[in-house]
Each structure stands twice: as structure tokens, then as C-alpha cells.
Amino acid sequence: MTADLTVKADPVALRRRRALAPSRGGRPWTFYVLAALFTLYVIALYGPMVCIYILSFQDVRGGLVFPMRGTSLHWFVDLFTQVRTGDVKGAFSRSIRLAVVVTIITVVVSFMSGLAFRRRFAGDTVVFYLMIGSLVAPGLVLGIGVGLICNTLGIEASWYSTALGAQLSWTLPFGVLVMFAVMSRLNNAWEEAARDLGATAWQTTFLVIIPILAPGLVAVALFGFTLSYDEFTRTLLTAGSLNTLPLEIWSMTLNVTSPSLYALGTVTTLISFIIIGVCLSSIARIQKRRAVGPGAH
Amino acid sequence: MAVENGSIELAGIVKSYDGNTRVVDGVNLRIPDRAYCCFLGPSGCGKTTILRMIAGHEDPTHGEILIGGQDVVGLAPVERRTAMMFQSYALFPHLNVRDNIAFALRVRGVGSQERRKAADAMIEKVRLTELADRLPAQLSGGQQQRVALARAAITGPKVLLLDEPLSALDEQLRVQMRQELSRMQRDLGITFIHVTHTQLEAIAIADIVVVMEKGKIKQAGPARDVYDQPQDRYVAEFLGGQNVLAGQIERIEGDSAVIASQEMRDVVVPLGVRRTASTGDRVDFAVRRDDVDLMRPERGGNSERAKVPSRVRAIEYQGNFVKVILDKVGQDELIAYVPDRVFYRDPFSIGDVVIAGWEKQNARMLA
């Protein structure tokens, strides 16, 4: 009485299924349109910068416009040896030191506010909107304001005091916003488990929370560093007599008329890429150690 | 002052977050040392809150919690000698199996050599030796559960608290891990308190089943008592396997009531817990689904049996038995579990008129 209910694969049905999925073969015409659009976009985005990098490798006869005149590293040497191009070395070291300080403060403060904002507290929405407010405030106006207040209070503007404050008004809200996204991955149960196993609040923070959030903290650090390293509008009126690198570049565009300006662009870009590369690879290393590698410690 | 044994006493426990609604509403319970106790109830009934209060992750609004005879309200989890296994296990994702298990020793300042030795011994106990260097993300659900168990047990707690420990696993693994939990409880010789919303899980594993509803204990006792002798409609329906029927007492005959409703006539039920009931009262009674058998109407039957004429509404084959769903009796489901072999001797089909009957003494009054 047992009926055979299994159905044999029907060759006609198989053929029909294939016919319903034509994308397996050629791509639709929309693909080529969108691909062309994307290519144009990439050229518009990176073309101008690439022009500057190329022109920075000219030789002594080089000018500010195409065509290329010879190839050499002349203008890179010129950049660091000639006094007339300004204090590039000093500006560079100031910018790096400032960016490091900004990064440390940004990471520490955003981490702590991220922890604070996990619970509701009195006035939390007000604090949040105040923070967003400082993000949307025009940078130049904010810089003028900082300058004015310091002037009134008799504080002398310098890159390590007033400019630091002005930059933090920009990097902190960013850092906190990124931290919110990072914190959403943090499960309360981990902290509770740590407490259950006898960990103190400090032990929980340093042995559980920070290691788990490490990739996110690196991302916040990267944000803080790059935002500070090329910050211009807020720094312009608050840096005092000594320039940071973006200010130095800007003043060079006004009085330097040689490809050493382009050489400076190439060098600073290279440094940015190195920093981004280091950060991303350290995030990747952390993730990889967690995902694969039995025996990893 | 340290807690020396795992007996637990809850005295008048109340928990309220907003001062109005009571999540836990006056719970009194005594759990002996080395018992396996299951809190059973739907989500939101307060069972997890009770667990968290025993664990020391929340404080009761009123009442006392005694562990090993000592009041532990206000003490840290470590001082209570309790350990908790979290619902999703909460394994630390950045630590490998060994470091996860050794975490409690690390925060106590135990040296790394000693820590490793203790952790490895525990790893062997839960049979994870070859996985000791893996990270949690590289383990299956069952393996993760064993790590969580080992991590909680390494400090030698007197009470292990398990919050829905099997809910993250698939069906087959759940049955397997159920046995493993039972084995671990016997091995460790400590009290286990296990929270679940799955009836089968609770009665399969527990010495004591505590059925909860809306912050109150409905019934607490050995698994078989709770399943076979539910006290009221809620417990009977929640544990399942019972037909709960409502009717009116027509007359009292000795220690039995004769009950009738629109669909039932002359159904005799021993008075049991409703000893004081009188004619005219509305009562609920329960009959186990596997105590109900079905007959064709032309066959008679003896008068010692209760009989309800009905009709087959649906049939579900369950393997070792057949679930026959009959027309409702008033608002109540009437279902018979007929053994597979019995059913297929003379199978019914949907729409057949049948007589559902059961031995008189198999019906139980509900409070």
C-alpha cells in the first residue's frame, strides 16, 4: 500500500529554472552605466590630489602647472632645507604633538561618556544636544569666540592651550558619537558575569570592557588624530604665533610659488596614510586573533 | 560567617522597580541543600528576578534571602557562595576557554601557574581539554554552555544559578545538555536553581518544580506531583497533558460530585480538594489526556466511567501516540492521547462521532 511519493528531477523544470536567472550570463546594461558613473566619481575625487603628487616630483625647472618638467626629489629636499618655504619641520612636529594629545583626551573622555550614556541620567538629552550643537557650529566663528574669550581673560593664544581647546570642541563630539556605536556592542551580561565571578569595578573595566571594545577605541583614536591633524578653521585664530601644519600650508599657498608646496602635500598625505594604515591593521589584527587562530593568546 | 551549605530560604520576598507593580509578590520557599530546583513560568512571571536576587545582582524590596541559614541580602555574589550561568552564557569573547574559566581566580590574585592547573582540571571535568585554547566564537552552543558551567563552578560555589541555560540550543542538543546538567549537579554535589519556561525541561530534570504566575508561586513540589496533581487550572494548563473542564455540581453523592454542563451529563468526579463544595457550585476538574479513551457510540460501557459524547475535530500523529482533538467542551479543549497501536486497530477519521470516557477516579478537582 506504500505509494512512492518521491518526485524525480524533471529535466524540463531544470531548464526552466535556468532561464529565469539570466544574470548568470552577461551583465545588464545598467551595470555599465553605473560603473561608468562610479569611475567618473573616483576620478573627480582623487584626480586633483594625484595631480599634486605627480607635480611634486619635478626637477629644478619645475613650475606650478602641467606639463611635468623632468623628475627628481629636488623639491622635497628644498622643503626641508630652504628657510623661505617657512618652518615646515617645526609646524609638522607641533601638529603631531597636538594631534597625539587631542587623541588621548578624545579617547579617554569619549570612553567615559560612552559608559555614562549607557544609563539614563538627569539632563542626559540636554548634554547630548549641547554636544551636537558644538559639532554644527561654524568652526571659524567658534575659533573667533575662543580667541575673544582668551583675549578677555588675558590668556595668550598658543597651539598647546587655546588651539587644543578649540580642536577638542570638534573631536570630542565626534569621538562620543562613534563611541555610542561602539558601546552598542557591549552586552551588560559581560559586566554582570565579571561581577558574579568576583571582579571589582576596576578589574571589570580593564580586564573585560576595554579589551572587548579595543577595536572601537582604536577607531575613535584614529578619528581624533586625523580630525586634529588637518584641522584648520578652528585652529586658525587660536594657534597664536606658531603655526600648525595646515596653517603652514595655507600660508605657503600665499607666498611660495614653487613645487615644494606640492612636495609638502605629498609628504603630509603619506603620513596620514601611514597612520590610517597602522590603525586599521591593528584593528584587523585584534579581530583576526579573535576570529581564527587556536593557540592565540 | 562564610556560607557553608546550599540550602536556600526565601521569606516574604517582594521586588518592585517602580513602587507600584510587584514583579515578585510575596514569595516564600525552602529549597534543601543539593537539590535541583526549577522555576517554571511564562516570561515576565518574575522567575528570573528571583534568580537574580538569590545571585545578588538585585536586592529584594522586602523580605529575606537565607543561604545556608545566613541572611545574604546586601552581600556580593562571591560572599554568598553563589555563581550564575547567564542566559546567553556571557563568555568573554576576547579570552580563550582556559582564560575564561580561570577568570574568577585571576581577579582573586591567584598566581598564573596555579590558575592554569585549576582551570585545566575543570576543563577536563567538562570534557573540553582539546578546545582549551579556542575562543568562545569558535565553539558550538553546547561547548559554550560547558565553558560557562566550568567558569561558574571553578570557585566551588554552594549554589549554581542557571538562567534559561538551554534556550540557546537546538532541540537535540537541549536533551543532551539536560542530562549533562543533571550529571554535573550530582558530580559537584551542590544546589542548582534553574529557570525555564519549558515544562518538559523542568519536569525532566528537577527534584523540585516551582510553578510561578505574575510574581507568585502557584505550586511547588516534586515534578511528578506538580504534573500529575496540579492544584488549579493555571498549573494544569501550563504543565500541559491535562484536559481542564468546567461544569456545575448537580448533586453530591458521598465523596463525589456529579457534574453537568451543556455538553456533559452525569460526570462523576471525586471531591478531593473541593471537599466543602455544594450543589450549584461551578468547579474545574482535570483529566489527563492519556487517561481519556475513545469509543464508537454503538458500544456500551460500564457505569463506573465518565462519558462525554463528542466528535473528532483533528488528528495529529505523534509517533508513539495519536493526539485526537475533539469538539470543545464549553470553552475548554478536550484532547485524547491514544496509544499508536490502539488507535490504528480501529482508526477514527475527522468528523466521526465518538464517546470520550475515563475512569471516574482519574478525574481530579482543581482549586
Do B99 and B191 lie in one domain? The reply is: yes
Quick one: which of B256, B338, B348 has its CA closest to B291?
Answer: B338
Give dist(CA A241, CA A251) in Å, integer.
13
Which residues have a Cβ under 8 Å from the Cβ of A263 and sit 6 or more positions away?
A56, A75, A76, A78, A79
Question: Between B25 and A251, whose confidence is greater?
Answer: B25
Same domain, B173 and B312: no
Structural domain includes residue A287: no
A-B interface: how many C-beta pairs under 8 angstroms? 73
Based on the domain organization, do A60 and A177 belong to the same domain?
Answer: no
Other CB atoms within 10 A of residue A254 CB: 7
* Tens digits of residue pLDDT in B101-111: 999 999 999 99
Q: What is the largest CA-CA distance in chain B?
A: 81
Which pLDDT score, from 0 to 100, does residue B192 have?
Answer: 94
With CA atoms as reference, report the closest residue to A223 among A176, A187, A258.
A176
DSSP string, A208-232: IIHHHHHHHHHHHHHHHHHHHHT--
Contacts of B49 (CB under 8 A, 6+ apart): B15, B23, B24, B58
Determine, yes or no, domain membership for A34.
Answer: yes
Query: A58 and A107: one domain?
Result: no
Residues B280 and B168 in one domain: no
Co-location of A82 and A222 in the same domain: no
Q: What is the pLDDT of residue A149?
A: 86
Looking at the fold, whether B211 and B280 belong to one and the same domain comes out as no
What pLDDT is attached to residue A1?
Answer: 47
What is the mean predicted confidence (pLDDT) over A131-145? 84
Of B108, B134, B138, the CB nearest to A198: B108
In a shared domain, residues A79 and A94: no
- Nearest Cβ partner of B86 from A193, A200, A297? A193
Cα separation, A196 vs B162, in Å, equals 13
- Among the listed ranges A195-209, A248-262, B121-135, B157-171, which one has the minimum average pLDDT value? A248-262
For residue A11, tell me if it sits in a domain.
Answer: no
CATH code of the domain in which B276 resides: 2.40.50.100
Query: Terminus-to-terminus CA distance in chain A, angstroms?
Result: 63
A294 touches chain B (CB under 8 A): yes
Closest CA to B363 of B295, B279, B238, B264: B264
Rg, chain B, Cα only: 25
- In a shared domain, residues B46 and B154: yes
Q: What is the pLDDT of residues A63-97, one digit of tens each?
A: 777 787 778 887 888 777 766 656 777 888 888 89
pLDDT of residue A142: 85
Using 50, 70 and 90 to split pLDDT, how confident is the model at B148?
very high
Answer whether residue A16 is part of any domain: no
- % of chain A at pLDDT higher than 70: 87
Q: What is the pLDDT of residues B92-146, one digit of tens each?
A: 999 999 999 999 999 999 999 999 999 999 999 888 889 999 999 899 888 999 9
pLDDT digits (tens, 9 = 90+) for A91-120: 888 888 999 999 999 999 999 999 988 888
Say if residue A48 is in the same domain as residue A120.
Answer: no
Structural domain count, chain A: 2
The total of other beta-carbon atoms located within 10 Å of residue A52's CB is 16
B19, B115: one domain = yes
pLDDT at B305 over 50: yes
* Cis? peptide before A22, omega within 30° of 0: no
Q: Are residues B153 and B258 in the same domain?
A: no
Phi, psi values for residue A265, rounded to 5°: -60, -45
Residues 6+ apart with CB under 8 A from A295: B133
Element (H, E) at A141: helix A139-153
Pair type for strands B36-40 and B191-196: parallel
DSSP B229: S
Mean pLDDT of the residues in chain A: 82
Domain of B211, CATH number, reads 3.40.50.300
State whether the Cα torsion B280-B281-B287-B289 is positive or negative: positive
Which stretches does DSSP call E strand in chain B? Answer: 8-16, 22-31, 36-40, 62-67, 70-71, 82-85, 159-163, 191-196, 208-213, 216-222, 242-253, 256-260, 267-270, 282-288, 293-295, 305-317, 321-329, 332-339, 353-359, 363-366
- Check residues A90 and A30 and name the one with the higher pLDDT: A30
Q: Whole-model pTM?
A: 0.78
Task: Give the amino acid at A146.
Answer: V
Assigned domain for A157 exists: yes
Confidence at A25, pLDDT banded by 50, 70, 90: low
Taking the C-alpha atoms of residue B209 and residue B190, their distance in angstroms, rounded to an integer, is 17
Q: Say what the alpha-carbon torsion angle B258, B259, B265, B266 is, to the nearest 10 degrees.
A: -10
Going by pLDDT thresholds of 50, 70 and 90, the confidence category of residue A295 is very low
Tell me if B275 is assigned to some domain: yes
Same domain, residue pair A147 and A206: yes
Q: Is residue B349 part of a domain?
A: yes
Q: Are residues A82 and A140 in the same domain?
A: no
Q: What is the 3-state secondary structure (H, E, C) of A89-129?
A: HHHHHHHHHHHHHHHHHHHHHHHHHHHHCCCCCCCHHHHHH
Q: Are strands B191-196 and B159-163 parallel, antiparallel or unpaired?
A: parallel
Find out whether B212 and B46 touch, Cβ atoms under 8 Å: yes
Residues A107 and A233 in one domain: yes
- Grid cell 556580593 is found at B76
Q: Give the pLDDT score at A7.
A: 62
Contacts of A297 in chain B (CB under 8 A): 96, 133
Instruction: Report which of B32, B146, B52 is spatially closest to residue A192, judged by C-alpha positions.
Output: B52
**Pair (A32, A156) in one structural domain:** no
Q: Residue A39: what pLDDT?
A: 95
Say if residue A176's pLDDT is above 50. yes
Given a cut of 60, is residue A22 above it in pLDDT? no
Is residue A178 scored above 70 in pLDDT? yes
Q: Which of A14-18, A61-65, A233-237, B179-183 has the highest mean pLDDT?
A: B179-183
Q: Give the residue from chain B lying closest to A293, CA to CA.
A: B134
User: Are A135 and A235 found together in one domain?
Assistant: yes
B162 and B221 inside one domain: yes
Number of domains in chain B: 2
Look at residue B123 and tell me if it is in a domain: yes
Residues B257 and B111 in one domain: no
Q: A196 vs B137: CB contact, 8 Å cut-off?
A: no
For residue B1, tell me if it sits in a domain: no
Alpha-carbon B231 to chain mean position: 15
- B235 in any annotated domain: no
Distance separating alpha carbons of residues B197 and B212, to the nearest angstrom: 10
Is residue A199 one of the residues assigned to a domain?
yes
**pLDDT tens, residue by residue, A45-58:** 999 888 888 888 88
pLDDT for the residue A161: 80
pLDDT confidence tier of residue A293, bands split at 50, 70 and 90? very low
Which chain A residues touch B137 with a CB distance below 8 Å? Answer: 290-291
Residue B324: which domain range?
241-292+305-366
Is A232 inside any structural domain? Answer: yes
Contact B98, B122 (CB under 8 A): no
B interface residues, A as partner, C-beta within 8 Å: 55, 57, 76-78, 83-84, 86-88, 90, 92-94, 96, 103-104, 106-108, 133-135, 137-138, 151-152, 155
- What's the complex ipTM? 0.81
Q: To which residue does cell 609638502 refer? A: A264
- The answer as to whether B233 is a domain residue is no
Residues B152 and B194 in one domain: yes
Whether B297 maps to a domain, the answer reads no
A74 and A201 co-located in one domain: no
The domain in which residue A115 lies consists of: 87-255
